[in-house]
C-alpha cells in the first residue's frame, strides 16, 4: 500500500535494520499450536540486537489480563535501557502458571548467546492465549538465531512475528538532528484483535538518534495516542500489546534532552513510522479487502474529533457496508450520532472519497442527492476515506479501520487449528 508522507521525513529501506548498528534475524524453531504439526515453513522466532547499549521505552496493553512477557519487559525497562529483543509467534505465553518463568528463560537464553545481561533483553510473544509455551524449541534454536544476526536481517525477523498477518509490515525513515542524518525503522505485527486501546500489536522500533530515556518514553506515549490507538479491526483489545523503541545514539547527534526543536523533529519521525504502520495494520485486518480512513474536522477539541472518528471506523454496520461497496451514509451518521461527544448533529457534513473521486452524501445532518453509480465506483477502491465535518471548531483527527468480510468469521472460527 502507498505510504503516507509526513513533512520533512524521507522514506528509506531496511525496517528495524535501517538504523546504524542494529542486526536482526528470524528462524523457524518449531513452535506449533497444540495438537498440530508445523506444516508451513514460516519463521516463528525473531531477534533484534544493538551493537551498543540503547535508551529504551515501551507502552503496553491496557487489558487487565497481561501476557507474561509484558510483566518481564516492564521490569527490564525500569532503568530505561535495553540491548536486544527476543520475540516468538504462535504462542502468546499468556494465562499460564509458568509464563513469567518461560519469559525470563527466553531472556536468559538470548542474553547468553549475545554476551549481555538478561535484564537488557526485551521479550515479547504473540499467538494463542492459554496454551503452555514449550521452551525447548526456543532453546534449541537460540544459537542459530543469534549466529544468523545480520545488518539486513529485517525480512526474516518481520516474518517471524506474523500470525494471521497476510503481509509483512515494516518501514524506515531518515531525518536531520543538529546537522546529523538519523534513521529510524520499525516492524509490526497485527491483523486481528485490533482495537483503539494500545491496539493489538507487537511493534518494534529502532533508531540511531540519541535521545534521553525520559524523552523517548514521552515521545512514544504521545505518538501512540494518535496512531496505533486510532486503529481498529474488530473491537478486541489483546493481552499482549507492546510497542518498544530502542535508541542507540550512534548517529552522533547531540543527545535530545529537552523539549526543543530537535524533540519535535524526533516526534515527527516517530509519527511517520507509527502512523504508516497503523495504516498497514488496519489494511491487513483479518479478512479485510479495504482500508477505511475517517477524518473528522470542525471539532471543538482533538478529543471530540478522535471520538467521532473512532466511532465511525469501529461500526460493524459501516464496515459491512464498505465491504459491499454500498454508500449507506445513514450508517455513518448513526455512528457519528452515538459517539460519546458533544456537537450539533445539524452541522454534520459527510463526504466519501478514494482515488476514483469524491462525493458528498450528507449536508447539515441530512441526505443530499448523489450518484449511486459514482459512489459505488469510489467504494470499489481498496483505500476509502470518509471525511466528516461536525462544526466550526479548529480541531481534527484521523482514525483507521477496515471492512468486515465473510473471511473474518472463517479465520476466527478455526484460529487455533
d(CA 132, CA 88): 13
Q: How far apart are CA 132 and CA 138, in angstroms?
A: 13
Q: Are 268 and 395 part of one and the same domain?
A: no
Nearest to 248 by CA among 49, 58, 53: 53
**Stretch 130-152: mean pLDDT:** 97
Q: Are residues 325 and 209 in the same domain?
A: no
Regarding whether 247 and 332 lie in a shared domain, the answer is no
Count up the domains in the chain and report the number: 2
Query: Are 394 and 304 members of one domain?
Result: yes
Question: Region 265-276: what's the mean pLDDT?
Answer: 97
For residue 102, give every residue at least 6 positions away whose Cβ sits within 8 Å of its Cβ, in sequence order, or none.
68, 93, 96, 133, 135
State the pLDDT at residue 138.
98
Flag whether 373 is in a domain: yes
Shared domain for 318 and 275, answered yes or no, is: no
Q: How confident is the model at residue 241 (pLDDT cuts 50, 70, 90)?
A: confident
| Average pLDDT of the chain to the nearest whole number | 91
Q: Are residues 158 and 241 in the same domain?
A: yes
Question: Is residue 5 in some structural domain?
Answer: no
Nearest to 87 by CA among 110, 117, 54, 113: 110
**pLDDT higher than 70, residue 195:** no
Answer for the pair 103, 141: CB distance below 8 angstroms, yes or no: no
Active site (catalytic) residues: 200
CA dist list (Å): 183 to 58, 113, 121:
19, 27, 22
**pLDDT-based confidence at residue 35 (cuts at 50, 70, 90):** very low
Q: What's the CATH number where 307 sits?
A: 3.10.20.340
Claim to verify: residue 271 and residue 376 sit in the same structural domain = no
- Identify the domain containing residue 392 by its residue range: 291-413
User: What gap in Å lies between CA 165 and CA 256, rounded to an integer?
Assistant: 35
Banded pLDDT at 275 (limits 50, 70, 90): very high
Q: Are residues 225 and 76 in the same domain?
A: yes
Question: What pLDDT is stored for residue 416 in this prediction?
Answer: 54
The band of 413, judged by pLDDT with boundaries at 50, 70 and 90, is: confident
Q: Are residues 232 and 110 in the same domain?
A: yes
Tens of pLDDT, residue by residue over 307-340, are: 999 999 999 999 999 999 999 999 999 999 999 9
CATH code: domain of residue 184: 3.60.70.12
Is the per-residue pLDDT at 38 higher than 50? no
Is residue 65, in this structure, part of any structural domain at all?
yes
Answer yes or no: do 53 and 105 share one domain. yes
Q: What is the pLDDT of residue 384?
A: 95
3-class secondary structure per residue, 332-346: HHHHHHCCCCCCCHH
Tell me if 2 is assigned to some domain: no
Residues 228 and 194 in one domain: yes
d(CA 200, CA 189): 9
Cell (9 digits) for 145: 538465531
Count CB neighbours of 413 within 10 A.
Answer: 8
> For a pLDDT cut of 90, what percent of the chain falls above it?
77
Residue indicated by cell numbers 547499549: 53
pLDDT of residue 27: 97
Query: Residue 267: is its pLDDT beyond 80?
Result: yes
Residues 201, 336 within the same domain: no
Amino acid at each position: 500500500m502507498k505510504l503516507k508522507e509526513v513533512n520533512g521525513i524521507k522514506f528509506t529501506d531496511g525496517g528495524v535494520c535501517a538504523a546504524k548498528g542494529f542486526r536482526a534475524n528470524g528462524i523457524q524453531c518449531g513452535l506449533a499450536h497444540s495438537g498440530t504439526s508445523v506444516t508451513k515453513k514460516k519463521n516463528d522466532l525473531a531477534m533484534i540486537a544493538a551493537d551498543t547499549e540503547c535508551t529504551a521505552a515501551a507502552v503496553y496493553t491496557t487489558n487487565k489480563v497481561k501476557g507474561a512477557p509484558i510483566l518481564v519487559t516492564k521490569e527490564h525497562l525500569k532503568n530505561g535501557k535495553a540491548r536486544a529483543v527476543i520475540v516468538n509467534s504462535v504462542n502468546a505465553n499468556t494465562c499460564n502458571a509458568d509464563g513469567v518463568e518461560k519469559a525470563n528463560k527466553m531472556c536468559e537464553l538470548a542474553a547468553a548467546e549475545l554476551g549481555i545481561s538478561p535484564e537488557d533483553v526485551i521479550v515479547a510473544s504473540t499467538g494463542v492465549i492459554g496454551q503452555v509455551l514449550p521452551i525447548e524449541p526456543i532453546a534449541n534454536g537460540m544459537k542459530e538465531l543469534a549466529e544468523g544476526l545480520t545488518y539486513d536481517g529485517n525480512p526474516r525477523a518481520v516474518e517471524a512475528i506474523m500470525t494471521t498477518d497476510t503481509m509483512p509490515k515494516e518501514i524506515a525513515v531518515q531525518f536531520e538532528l543538529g546537522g546529523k542524518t538519523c534513521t529510524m525503522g520499525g516492524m509490526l505485527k497485527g491483523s486481528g484483535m485490533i482495537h483503539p486501546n494500545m491496539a493489538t500489536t507487537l511493534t518494534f522500533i529502532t533508531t540511531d538518534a540519541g535521545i534521553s530515556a525520559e524523552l523517548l518514553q514521552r515521545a512514544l506515549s504521545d505518538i501512540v495516542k494518535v496512531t496505533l490507538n486510532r486503529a481498529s479491526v474488530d473491537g478486541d483489545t489483546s493481552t499482549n500489546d507492546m510497542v518498544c523503541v530502542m535508541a542507540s545514539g550512534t548517529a552522533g547527534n547531540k543527545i535530545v534532552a529537552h523539549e526543543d526543536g530537535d524533540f519535535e523533529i524526533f516526534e515527527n519521525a516517530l509519527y511517520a513510522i507509527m502512523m504508516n504502520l497503523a495504516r498497514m495494520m488496519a489494511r491487513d485486518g483479518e479478512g479485510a479487502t479495504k482500508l477505511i480512513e475517517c477524518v473528522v474536522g470542525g471539532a471543538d477539541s482533538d478529543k471530540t474529533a478522535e471520538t467521532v472518528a473512532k466511532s465511525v471506523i469501529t461500526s460493524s454496520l459501516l464496515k459491512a457496508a464498505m465491504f459491499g461497496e454500498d454508500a449507506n451514509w445513514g450508517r455513518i451518521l448513526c455512528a457519528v450520532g452515538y459517539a460519546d461527544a458533544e456537537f450539533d448533529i445539524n452541522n454534520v457534513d459527510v463526504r466519501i472519497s478514494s482515488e476514483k473521486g469524491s462525493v458528498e452524501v450528507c449536508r447539515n445532518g441530512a441526505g443530499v442527492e448523489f450518484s449511486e453509480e459514482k459512489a459505488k465506483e469510489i467504494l470499489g477502491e481498496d483505500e476509502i476515506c470518509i471525511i466528516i465535518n461536525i462544526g466550526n471548531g479548529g480541531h481534527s483527527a484521523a482514525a483507521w479501520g477496515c471492512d468486515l468480510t465473510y473471511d473474518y468469521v472463517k479465520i476466527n472460527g478455526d484460529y487455533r487449528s
